[in-house]
Structure 1
Amino acid sequence: MSNTRTLRRTVLGTALGLALAAFGGPQAYAANNDGSVAGRTQAGATVVVINPATGLTRTITADNDGSYRFPFLPVGQYTISASSGGQPVGPTRNVTVALGTTTTVDLGAANATSLATINVTGSVLPVIDVSSTESATIVSRAELARLPVNQNVTSVALLAPGVVKGNAAFGGISFGGSSIAENAFYVNGLNVTDFYNRNGFSEAPFAFYDQFQVKTGGYSVEFGRTTGGVVNAVARSGTNEFKGGVEITLEPGNWHSRADDHYDASGHRYLTASRDRDSLVKTNVWASGPIVKDKLFIFAMYEARGSTPRNTNNAGTTLTSNNSDTGFWGTTIDWNITDSNVLQLMAFSDKNKNTGDVYSYDYDTSTIGTRTNQVFTDTGGKNWALTWTSYLTNDLSMKLMTGRNEREAFTHSQLDVDCNYVAANNAFRAIHDPGVRLGCTSSSTVYKRNDTRKQARADFEWTLGDHLLRFGYDHENDTSDYSRHYAGPGAYYYNLYAASAGSTISNGGVVPAGYDSYVRARRYEIAGTFTTKNAAYYIEDNWQLTPNLVLNAGVRNDSFDNQDAAGRSYIKMSRQIAPRLGFSWDMKGDGSTKLFGNLGRYYLPVANVINIKQAGGLLDERTYYAFDGWDYKTLNGVQYAVPKLGPQIGAVDNSQGNGTVGDLRSEVDKNMDPVYQDEAILGFQQLITSQWSWGVSATYRRLHNAIDDMEISATPQCGGDGYVGWVMANPGKSVTVWGDTHCTGTADGWVTIDTSKQGWAMYDASGNYLGQRGWVKPKRTYAAVELQLNRAWDEKWAMNASYTMSWNRGNAEGPVNSDTDFDDTGRTENFDDPWVNLGGNGYLPNDRRHQFKLRGTYALTPHWQLGADVNAASGGPITGFGVGNPYDATNYHSYFICVQNCDSPVSEDRVYERSPRGKYGRLPWTFTLNAGISYIQPFEGGEFRVKLAVYNLLNQKHTTAVDQDLQTSISNSTSDTFRQPLGFQSPRFTQLTMSVNF
């Protein structure tokens, strides 16, 4: 009977490891970049795990109950065996260790009662077992070779359920309803996330990676500083066998379909895209092997990249021809010092230099004229991580890591000294088209930033009977060396707007009689070095409560310390306690059916951009003038126009930065609470057959707090006076700042304002004080149900299908606003004053009610494979933003539009109506089909592979973003550009990849 049961458990466990591979992984007991093997055998048996490719051998003794565990194993193929008294306990088994997972293997014990026995051979990844309480998707290099997935990390992340593209110009991806600025990205345990604006990450070519793990929820306490998702990658390593290869990727320009030009209702072309071209050639060369057999190994690669895209401006009057020809290099060096001590170095450089030659351009004749400018853009940097793994005792293991992540961002041009940037909206152009280009530069900003993250962490695992304790510490110093100003004389950026005489503009000034437009001349300058220090302790207990039930309870304690240019702390938050609780129940005791769930709290740090703009002596000076016609000039044989400045309108506005660092006690809430999110997940997974499986899960997320800039215009004790100014704080909560306690106009003590009720002074048109108004509290919830069906790869075919139905509601998307295209993280308009977000509750920009994803591969013959990746998603909501509100005439995006008496200078006379989120329907569904065909020809000692992939095969060009400004000034007319399409699916393109591996 026992032999029959053991066989049944082995078969079911093997099938579960194969068939559920796409559903997600068990708890990441691996400090980011490796995996584990655990199970049961005979009590006191000697258990040996060996990696035949590297000779790495680890030996431990099973506990009194027969349990054993090998943590911190580098990913790869292993053999595992047990013996007692010199005799084998069951057969030797093959097992695959996958990224961030624990594979359970019982070794021949007749009374074994552990979780599902998995006997895995080949390269199948056993990424699900019944110890899992996490939602994650593992994608291997082998799977990506079969699928038509574009060669970037974002495309890999989008394979996971619940992950969608951002719909703003600044791109990014959204996990589970979070904004694009809330995610984290790791390579070999090194955090490579952009900490300046949290929009992006350092990235290596596909050929550098071995596996990816996309975490969409429920991740363990070793991960933090994110309220979105985690993409965790591990790089390739060398072995005892000398290997090498060459891979060439081609994307010729004529393999790209043309994008469409777009015209407004009057036939005016407002987006010119049909002349844009992309072209890419990449040659990747890699080699790996032993430096000292069984001891020291190296993997190294170099990729030469030639990218030559070209693009026109929206008007079609300039064409920029770009050239990027910078090589990437990367390496890993692994040293098996002893069987109990391993040292690994991972390093790569993603530095890139792009030169953009800017030419005058005649759209009608497709004539390229004189070169008018050169724009230089430098990005990327060097990255490395040094990791020491040590088995201290049979039950205690340690991993220490130190590393460095660099990101440069430097944009400058030949015309930075001589040319101001000039921009105009469509309404202005309709009445004042100069007939020549505006300004003489396509580069608005002279911008340089060097971000450097210095990271160190220590992770430990300690087995105590049925308890597995995991604990550790990680620390980061995130430093931004920053300078920025606008190009041209005076460092001014000119914006041109249409506005009727007598209308009020954003600084409170009134357009004078005889003028129908105005100019905003803006200076924006800042420089300095700014650091944020993040640290965390964590501890977690994974308790095998019964043979079929695993409980885990963990807690993470985060601290964030944002500093000004002088190194003084000005936003400091500690004791951010993040509990995580989870369970996994092997319902039948054979690994075929699992119920799991978890509860967790996650904290989000304040981006470095806030250090710079709040505590860096920011000069943000805006001066408004009546538009007095054009001044025509010529440079490099090209005529251009700059605005003539008429009478100044209103006062100079430097309320958002006057160039000095003020008393930060008056600018930051003394008792500010962090931003955090609570999450609950309940899931079920079941094996149908040895190849088929399915699963369902429900997720609920709730975001608490926001940290944003608010203009506190009144303190409670001064009857409407006691102006404080712009403050970083929690909207809708009590704010304590250094302010005017004696109503003398001078800050002299601590003032507390309950911003849910007060903080904004209200006056009528005659200047009579009407009282105070407070802010609405930020809200964001995400609720989703996910279904998955999976068919495991068996050298013939594989398939994964998922459907996600979700609801993303609230009044705050997060630290960025994609519906108004605002990516200045943590300084959104949402809470500038109480009226901006009044009535702003509804479906948020990342709400995609329905998402269908399907990917798969079919082997026609041993040499030919077909692959497909399908993504269909419903569109996000469309809001009609207005200007002003029934209570105040401030010129912001608001959820009100003026419908009567809108030209009245007296705000009380105007009549408004609500314009709630999503009132104007939704964007259309998007459907993307990527298809590919591969030819594989093995030869002695190697393999030749060719893959032809076509992305967006059906050339779908649905709209992904529209202009949501219903009113652009306080008038009772709808903007001519409201709902005008601004973003679209990328046109079809073809990619040919040829590789030889030997």
Structure 2
Amino acid sequence: MLTPATGQSLAGLGAINGVVKDASGAVIPGAKVLVANPEKGIRREMETNQAGIFSAPSLTPGRGYEVTVDRAGFAQYSAKQIEVLVGSNVTLNIEMGVQAQSQAVTVNESTPLVETTKTGVSQVVEAAQITNLPINGRRVDTFVLLTPGVTNDGTFGLVTFRGIPGGNAFLTDGNDTTQGYYNEGAGRTRISSNISQDAVQEFQVQSSGMTAEFGRAVGGSVNTVTRSGTNTTHGTAYWFFRNHSLNARDRYATRNPKESRHQFGGSVGGALKKDELFYFLNAEWTRRDFPAISTVQNPQLFDASGNFIGTCGAPANATQCQNAVNYFKRFFGEVPRTADQDAYFGKLDWRPSERNSFSASFNLMNWISPNGIQTQATLTGGAAIGNNGDSTVRHRFARFAHTGIINPATVNEFRFGWFKDRLYESVNPALAPPNGLQGQLTVQGQGNLGVATFLPRVQPTEDRFQIADNLTWLKGAHNIKFGFDFAHTRDTVELLANGRGSYTYPTFTAFALDLTNLDGGKRWQNYSQTFGDPKITIFVRDWNFFAQDQWRVNSKLTLNYGIRYEYAQFAQPKLFNPDYPQTARINQPKLNFAPRAGMAYTFGSSGKTVLRASYGIFYARMPGALVGNIHQSNGVYQKSITYQSSVPDQLAAGPVFPAFLPSTNLNPPAGTVSIGFPNVALRTPYTQQWDIGIERELTRSTGITISYLGSRGDNFFMNRDLNIGPAAGAYTYRILDTAGAEIGTYTTPGYLRANRVDPRYNRVNELGNFGKMWYDGMVVQVRQRATKYLQGTLAYTWSHARDYNAGGGNSNLFIVSGSPRTVSNGAFAAEKATSELDQRHRLVVTGLVEMPNVKSDNAFVKYAVNGWNLSMIGTFSSAFYWSPTIRVNSNFSGSAFTNTLNGFGGSFRVPFLSRTSLPVEGVARLDARLSKALRFTERYQLSLNFEAFNVFNNVSNTGIITEGFQATTGVIRQVAGMGRGSASQGFPDGTNARRAQVSARFVF
């Protein structure tokens, strides 16, 4: 089940606390309390303080905890079968009877349904859910999408909290395992998983109201807890199998390619020394063969069957046109692709005494995938060949932790972490163009026709060392916690992006002429290339301090409040551009204070209804990719040039297709080099988050929560061009429909090349804090705790996210050198509209049904009829919205850039239509698992499973054609196809068409 976590969360651990009172409601100080878990060898002894409160923090998450309370003159109280979840603070309200009148009181299953001290919005995905719900690819972090306020950020496995692109934190046992370069999970999303499903016990998802202990996240936080050994030896062996015979064809595939996937492994855990030394080991392997289907579905060039329907004619002859058509034929077909992954995990827990416990773990993952950079099942834009290559990922993670009980009221936790990620990608010669082209190519708006501009690359090799320490102190009604966290992250990148150049052709005819190249002409519209040093090493040092308090004002009211301070040091540029001193420094803000506050109020004496609210400020992590982009964009470390054929000296300096310029060409014509740098007072992006909600226990096992979530994002990164000069004049375009009839006009001021402030440069981008975001959401959660036959959850979110064209998580990493995302320079507020990450409605339902057993001595009944269970996840959501775009082949004489109507060269959206006005498509899908358990003895069991993902094959579009217009010198023409579907991708299969698998799992 999904279980809410409490306000005073613990990174990777949990806690049990309570208040001990007599029958009259008076608190009982000096009562002896024992908190124990016999299977884990945990034993904590303490006494209630003057407020009658006891607290056992920093407990290893798990089941089987027991609490025993003794006090002279009172009957003993004992609570058993308590479950402590990651980040939870299990609160017990204990009433002790007089010994002369009462026998000892024993309570089972005493974990409260309603958390009376919880102030934020967070949930825990438990071990039973991870094991029993249908899971595609055994990647447990996909269960994050069961949480309200969370949805997909694109189709490659990223998630967004409250409509914020990226900005999430990923922890493992409390340590930071976020890949800081891209600000994603370790290994990124291309791999099967950075840790085996069987090595994960549970994980906590915090979407709002995080306490001061948590930071470096403007979005949400995902904290994974790994499994540990116990006094009883347990283990598993498993095999998951899939092939194409169980798969439905992708909507945009011409056929269903042969595919197979084997995932197999095992785990074992137990005690090397009872009650003291425990171990857990896991190994898992994945072997996958999944060919990609490559097509080019461009309504201006090819039909769905791959027939050329474009225009090619004079001055190109028939042979030249046919040669150009033949060049495209290699993009239609099947591309071989495989993926192999090996993952290993080990953990030791040592408890030499009641006052000290130590934990050490190590995780290793290797991934290699020829032609596996692109993971989609069907690629309709040529990327399976023209933007693909071989992928290799190496991930390592080690952790050491010590928990020390200084005295019953004071606990110290120390953690050390080491993290390493290495991503290497290379060109596969089998995918290289036949004409010797080594760079990228775009023809009449169709890209991905050459070689990926980012290959070869190591991006990045990342190392992180982390030290954290915190102290928890129980003082009266206050549970005080304070500590620090230091992390040093180093990224080394070897990449010269676009080092072999990129050609852009306005028409198919122009490309046909240059492909044959009988006269050495240059018919390209634009040519760009980068020169310089491909290798760079940068670092980010994070210094974080926090203090927080959970104050039980009385039996009904709990307050959580605290403050966090974050300071980040960045590697400063070693080279700078003397023309622009701003390129010499990256500002390091020193006033990032983040207050946090929350309250929980319990109505009545039953504890069945709780009102909670929270507010906090949360600062973003500075991605290593952005720091590196600042270093490389100064026009000295690397030099990026753009030539436009409309400028004679630039056309003359450009190459003849398919060549690229030699690296010795470091003196290009004036006005062709672009640079970028941060604002001298660059600040850290942050969000203000608040929520208010009420939770009610409907029955002993059913609860409902209704909440409002809100956030406002400020100081987010966007760029503007300091060199473009002011717009001037008025340029009018006639607008024609698809039949050629005039339906209107559009007039815009224009940006002229002659008005550039500094004619030595092309763009001079300034990275600033110009972005803003807004989010409002209403959440309804229903939770059915496990009963004899049923458990499940329901999470419905209505929300509205707006921004200044922030894009998705990957849109904000290399924006220093990128083109501005506004139609006009600096007009950020004009871009305010519904976010691309806005999903107005989202409903997720989970359920696990255990079939009743039939009592019988008949062996057939025992093994064939009994032991069945059915689980499912239903996801129903409204559509995301994209923006209509326009492709400009030429605009007006003297324009600064020829690819937009106003000559600014910024956003390609249609300026006279609303942003984010094209619906992609909603989702309605059901994933299901049918399991049969064969129990041989009490210790040995075999489960046979059949799983189907998108059972009814209700395929939905995840991409559409956004191009609705084309423009050429004074005329805008509507083109057919805008809004038509172009992709039905899905994570982790590369498609959302139905997939199914069988598996066997042996447990002892």
Q: TM-score, normalised by structure 2?
A: 0.77
| Partner of residue 206, structure 2 | 215
Q: Distance in 2 between matches of 1:308 and 1:642?
A: 36
Aligned ranges for residues 947-962 of structure 1 at < 5 Å? Answer: 947-962=945-960
- Bigger drift between 314-323 and 677-686 goes to 314-323
Aligned ranges for residues 424-463 of structure 1 at < 5 Å? Answer: 424-425=441-442, 427=444, 444-463=455-474
| Partner of residue 537, structure 1 | 545
Alignment match of 1:477 (pick from 482, 485, 488) = 488
How far the C-alpha of 1:67 sits from its partner, in A, is 1.0
- The secondary structure found in structure 1 opposite 2:703 is strand
Q: Distance in 1 between matches of 2:332 and 2:163?
A: 39
| Partner of residue 248, structure 2 | 257
What residue identity is the alignment partner of 2:172? V
How far the C-alpha of 1:583 sits from its partner, in A, is 0.2
| Partner of residue 411, structure 2 | 397
Q: Distance in 2 between matches of 1:286 and 1:964?
A: 48
- The secondary structure found in structure 1 opposite 2:699 is coil
| Partner of residue 190, structure 1 | 175
Aligned ranges for residues 299-338 of structure 1 at < 5 Å? Answer: 299-315=280-296, 316-317=331-332, 319-338=334-353
How far the C-alpha of 1:543 sits from its partner, in A, is 0.9
Aligned ranges for residues 584-663 of structure 1 at < 5 Å? Answer: 584-616=600-632, 617-624=637-644, 643=658, 651=669, 655-657=673-675
- The secondary structure found in structure 1 opposite 2:146 is coil
Structure-2 change in CA distance of 1:448 and 1:302 (3 Å): same
How far the C-alpha of 1:212 sits from its partner, in A, is 1.2
| Partner of residue 264, structure 1 | none
Where relative contact order (Cα < 8 A, 6+ residues apart) is larger, the structure is: 2
| Partner of residue 687, structure 2 | 677
- The one-character-per-residue Cα deviations of 1:614-647 (angstroms, maximum 9, x if unpaired) are 11423333345699xxxxxxxxxxxxx964799x
| Partner of residue 882, structure 2 | 878
How far the C-alpha of 1:680 sits from its partner, in A, is 1.2
- The one-character-per-residue Cα deviations of 1:389-411 (angstroms, maximum 9, x if unpaired) are 11111211110001011111101
| Partner of residue 149, structure 1 | 135
Alignment match of 1:63 (pick from 36, 49, 52) = 49
How far the C-alpha of 1:961 sits from its partner, in A, is 2.3
How far the C-alpha of 1:74 sits from its partner, in A, is 0.4
Q: Distance in 2 between matches of 1:766 and 1:576?
A: 42
| Aligned partners of 1:815 and 1:826 also within 8 Å | no
- The secondary structure found in structure 1 opposite 2:591 is strand
Structure-2 change in CA distance of 1:404 and 1:467 (3 Å): same
| Partner of residue 315, structure 2 | none
Q: Distance in 1 between matches of 2:148 and 2:899?
A: 33
Structure 1 consecutive aligned stretches of length 4 or more whose deviation exceeds 6 Å = 371-374, 440-443, 512-516, 761-766, 772-776, 883-888
| Partner of residue 737, structure 1 | none
How far the C-alpha of 1:843 sits from its partner, in A, is 0.5
Given the alignment of the two structures, is residue 854 of structure 1 paired with residue 863 of structure 2, yes or no?
no
Q: Distance in 1 between matches of 2:725 and 2:568?
A: 28
| Aligned partners of 1:879 and 1:916 also within 8 Å | yes
Structure-2 change in CA distance of 1:802 and 1:337 (3 Å): same
Structure 2 unaligned regions, length at least 5 = 22-27, 100-104, 188-193, 297-330, 379-384, 511-518, 576-583, 648-655, 729-748, 758-763, 854-866, 986-991
Q: Distance in 1 between matches of 2:295 and 2:170?
A: 33
- The secondary structure found in structure 1 opposite 2:130 is helix
| Aligned partners of 1:384 and 1:405 also within 8 Å | yes
| Aligned partners of 1:23 and 1:695 also within 8 Å | no
Q: Distance in 1 between matches of 2:596 and 2:893?
A: 44
Q: TM-score, normalised by structure 1?
A: 0.78
| Aligned partners of 1:587 and 1:594 also within 8 Å | yes
How far the C-alpha of 1:91 sits from its partner, in A, is 3.1
- The secondary structure found in structure 2 opposite 1:224 is coil
| Aligned partners of 2:719 and 2:815 also within 8 Å | no
Structure-2 change in CA distance of 1:935 and 1:972 (3 Å): same
| Aligned partners of 2:587 and 2:681 also within 8 Å | no
| Partner of residue 271, structure 2 | 290
What residue identity is the alignment partner of 1:545? V
| Partner of residue 587, structure 2 | 571
Q: Distance in 2 between matches of 1:223 and 1:396?
A: 21
| Aligned partners of 2:896 and 2:904 also within 8 Å | no
What residue identity is the alignment partner of 2:42? L
Given the alignment of the two structures, is residue 382 of structure 1 paired with residue 389 of structure 2, yes or no?
no
What value does the CA root-mean-square deviation take over the aligned residues?
A: 4.1
- The one-character-per-residue Cα deviations of 1:271-293 (angstroms, maximum 9, x if unpaired) are x5645554321111111111111
Structure-2 change in CA distance of 1:878 and 1:762 (3 Å): closer
Q: Distance in 2 between matches of 1:429 and 1:849?
A: 32
- The secondary structure found in structure 1 opposite 2:973 is coil
What residue identity is the alignment partner of 1:621? I
- The one-character-per-residue Cα deviations of 1:221-263 (angstroms, maximum 9, x if unpaired) are 11111111111110000011122220111122332222133xx
Q: Distance in 2 between matches of 1:36 and 1:906?
A: 60
| Aligned partners of 2:805 and 2:821 also within 8 Å | no
Q: Distance in 2 between matches of 1:223 and 1:936?
A: 41
- The secondary structure found in structure 2 opposite 1:155 is helix
What residue identity is the alignment partner of 1:868? M
Q: Distance in 1 between matches of 2:840 and 2:426?
A: 42
Alignment match of 1:706 (pick from 692, 705, 716) = 716
- The secondary structure found in structure 2 opposite 1:614 is helix
| Aligned partners of 1:167 and 1:983 also within 8 Å | no
Structure 1 unaligned regions, length at least 5 = 1-20, 113-117, 262-271, 364-370, 431-436, 502-511, 628-640, 658-665, 721-760, 899-904
| Partner of residue 228, structure 1 | 219
Structure-2 change in CA distance of 1:424 and 1:192 (3 Å): same
Given the alignment of the two structures, is residue 491 of structure 1 paired with residue 506 of structure 2, yes or no?
no
How far the C-alpha of 1:357 sits from its partner, in A, is 9.5
Aligned ranges for residues 882-961 of structure 1 at < 5 Å? Answer: 882=886, 891=897, 914-920=912-918, 922-938=919-935, 939-961=937-959
Q: Distance in 1 between matches of 2:68 and 2:871?
A: 38
How far the C-alpha of 1:167 sits from its partner, in A, is 2.9
How far the C-alpha of 1:301 sits from its partner, in A, is 0.8
- The one-character-per-residue Cα deviations of 1:668-719 (angstroms, maximum 9, x if unpaired) are 3232221000011000010111122211000111001122343323899xx9
What residue identity is the alignment partner of 2:271? P
| Partner of residue 322, structure 2 | none
How far the C-alpha of 1:831 sits from its partner, in A, is 5.4
How far the C-alpha of 1:413 sits from its partner, in A, is 3.5
Given the alignment of the two structures, is residue 550 of structure 1 paired with residue 558 of structure 2, yes or no?
yes
Alignment match of 2:529 (pick from 522, 531, 538) = 522
| Aligned partners of 2:594 and 2:617 also within 8 Å | yes
- Bigger drift between 330-339 and 35-44 goes to 35-44
Aligned length: 851
- The one-character-per-residue Cα deviations of 1:319-364 (angstroms, maximum 9, x if unpaired) are 43233333210011100021111000121112212234999xxx9x
Structure-2 change in CA distance of 1:767 and 1:379 (3 Å): closer
Q: Distance in 2 between matches of 1:800 and 1:888?
A: 61
Alignment match of 2:238 (pick from 247, 272, 287) = 247
How far the C-alpha of 1:440 sits from its partner, in A, is 7.8
Structure-2 change in CA distance of 1:620 and 1:119 (3 Å): farther
How far the C-alpha of 1:804 sits from its partner, in A, is 1.1
How far the C-alpha of 1:786 sits from its partner, in A, is 0.7
Given the alignment of the two structures, is residue 32 of structure 1 paired with residue 12 of structure 2, yes or no?
yes
- The secondary structure found in structure 1 opposite 2:33 is strand
Structure-2 change in CA distance of 1:792 and 1:452 (3 Å): same
Structure-2 change in CA distance of 1:893 and 1:228 (3 Å): farther
Percent identity reads 17
